[in-house]
Structure 1
Amino acid sequence: MTFAIQWLRSFLFVFQIYFMMPIFGLMFAPWAIFSKRGARACCKSYSRWVFWTARFMVGIRCEVRGTPPSGEVLIAAKHQSFLDIMMIFTALPTAKFIMKKEILRTPVIGQYAKLLDCVAVDRGKRGAAIDKMVQDVRAGHQEAGQLIIYSQGTRVAPGVKADYKVGTGVLYEQLGQPCVPVATNVGVLWPRTGIMRKPGVAVVEFLDQIEPGLDRKEFMDTLETRVEEKSDALMRELGFDPDAVS
């Protein structure tokens, strides 16, 4: 398959997933407005549409490994592109995200984030953002579920090193919940920017949970080591060498 044909397929794929997003949002709106179950059904149905079309249009097959948790836990995940968001959310029964507040102004995504009680924070005010994050999470405890945080704070390209933010450690300490790390390789096939999508097996893997009770430094070191080592291994499965990135 030539580069030009794969790029054209990628363009058509990207066009149709964004074209279908408001259609799914409108179809499910009467149910979603009155029920979180309806909002989750919309987001999962749309994600499955994306997975299905990704397979036959650009050759990406989505695979979830490990055991997704069903109880009340903190999910600390590697974030490489829009694809890992959908894969993690779809694998969990009652998930919600910690996200930057600007996303709430995004059409469709922002409205559904509000319906799902996702926690919006201002990343530009670090200390205040962490305090607000903890307060908002505690206020949402009426619905047990899985709280997803991207510990590096943003999408990180494959092989690029980025610090793990202290907010994950603060939540781990103050919530007293187990933390389930999640590794991924999706950015090798579905980059954080651009049109081109590459064929292959996109994986998110739920790793062994970290029990509550560790001090913050030990927890953060354990989390980073597990996620980075497994993510590097998953990327190597696709023939990508993360150590070769300068």
Structure 2
Amino acid sequence: MNRLRTLLFGLFFYGLSVPIVATVPVSALFGRQAVIAHAHVWAKMHRLLYRTIMGIRVRVEGHVPDGPVFYAAKHQAMFETLELQLLLGGPAMVLKRELSRIPLWGWAARRYGGIVADREASAAALRSMMRDAKALKAEGRSILIYPEGTRVSPGERPPLQAGFAGLYRTLAMPVVPIALDTGRVWPKHGAKRSGVVTIRLGEVIPPGLPRGEIEARVYQAINVLDDGLGAASGIMRG
């Protein structure tokens, strides 16, 4: 059954994604807000399909704060790259340079508010990333980063990439760490499974902390569900 559901999900999701992504240039003619609204149509389609075809529900623990913040999230699946855009109200996002080079999609992501990160970045590239992030902050946008720098399997805890601490210092924004367990139902390979996904928004961490302290606090908070410390109750989405 899971294999059949996964196949049906893929057919509908990728089939419907083609016209949505292909028409982004039209939205781009009307500015960034139009691109954000267009992208959220894609995310809402994803949400509808994972609920109806895959039988997945999302439990949210914690609260989305008022005002712009710097979100630092665990990354286990493509699932959260779309779901968090809806849950968090459309934050700008830090994305890998490889993604920004995908024809059409990469351009659309930049128009949405994509901040390009390069693991082997030159000083000029790092300055460009910081400059883009500050400009988006000035627009009143929250910023979302996956500070481990890559997708990981449940239980894996790689160290945070240096870019997180650099942005934290540059942006001087409060940080909201996000733990999640999407990899349990949405593995990188193989069939997806029905079940409940937990997304836990941690306590707000103030700006201005030393690098060692902010990295330690975020590292602990985004991995808290691996420790089995997630709250037993939350808000069910769908």
Q: Shared fold (TM-score greater than 0.5)? A: yes
Counterpart amino acid of 1:74?
F
Partner Cα separation in structure 2 for residue 32 and residue 212 of structure 1? 33
Alignment of 1:84-233 (within 5 A): 84-125=80-121, 129-191=125-187, 193-233=188-228
Deviation digits for residues 200-227 of structure 1 (CA, Å, limit 9, x no counterpart): 0112222111011211101111111111
Alignment of 1:21-60 (within 5 A): 21-27=17-23, 29-60=25-56
Q: 1:117 offset after TM fit, Å?
A: 2.6
The 3-state SS of whatever aligns with 2:155 is coil
The unaligned stretches of length 5 or more in structure 1 are: 238-246
The unaligned stretches of length 5 or more in structure 2 are: 233-238
Alpha-carbon spacing, 1:151–1:31, altered in 2? closer, same or farther (3 Å): same
Alpha-carbon spacing, 1:28–1:101, altered in 2? closer, same or farther (3 Å): closer
2:71 paired residue among 71, 75, 99:
75
Query: What's the TM-score, normalizing by structure 2?
Result: 0.88
CA contact (8 A) 1:33 1:115 kept: no
Counterpart amino acid of 1:136?
D
Q: 1:82 offset after TM fit, Å?
A: 0.6
The 3-state SS of whatever aligns with 1:93 is coil
Q: 1:236 offset after TM fit, Å?
A: 11
- Mean Cα deviation higher: 214-223 or 124-133: 124-133
- Mean Cα deviation higher: 126-135 or 147-156: 126-135
Partner Cα separation in structure 2 for residue 103 and residue 76 of structure 1? 19
Alpha-carbon spacing, 1:55–1:94, altered in 2? closer, same or farther (3 Å): closer
Alpha-carbon spacing, 1:147–1:198, altered in 2? closer, same or farther (3 Å): same
Alpha-carbon spacing, 1:174–1:28, altered in 2? closer, same or farther (3 Å): closer
Give the % identical residues.
28
CA contact (8 A) 2:116 2:129 kept: yes
Partner Cα separation in structure 2 for residue 23 and residue 62 of structure 1? 27
Query: What's the TM-score, normalizing by structure 1?
Result: 0.85
Q: Partner of 1:61 in structure 2? A: 57
Deviation digits for residues 127-153 of structure 1 (CA, Å, limit 9, x no counterpart): 665443222212334311111111100
CA contact (8 A) 1:123 1:129 kept: no
Counterpart amino acid of 1:76?
A
Q: 1:107 offset after TM fit, Å?
A: 4.3
CA contact (8 A) 1:64 1:91 kept: no
Deviation digits for residues 153-206 of structure 1 (CA, Å, limit 9, x no counterpart): 010111122111122112112221101101100011011x22411110112222
CA RMSD of aligned residues (A): 2.3
Q: Larger RCO: Structure 1 or Structure 2 (Cα < 8 Å, ≥ 6 residues apart)? A: 2
Partner Cα separation in structure 1 for residue 28 and residue 62 of structure 2? 30
CA contact (8 A) 1:188 1:235 kept: no
Partner Cα separation in structure 1 for residue 216 and residue 166 of structure 2? 14
CA contact (8 A) 2:94 2:114 kept: yes
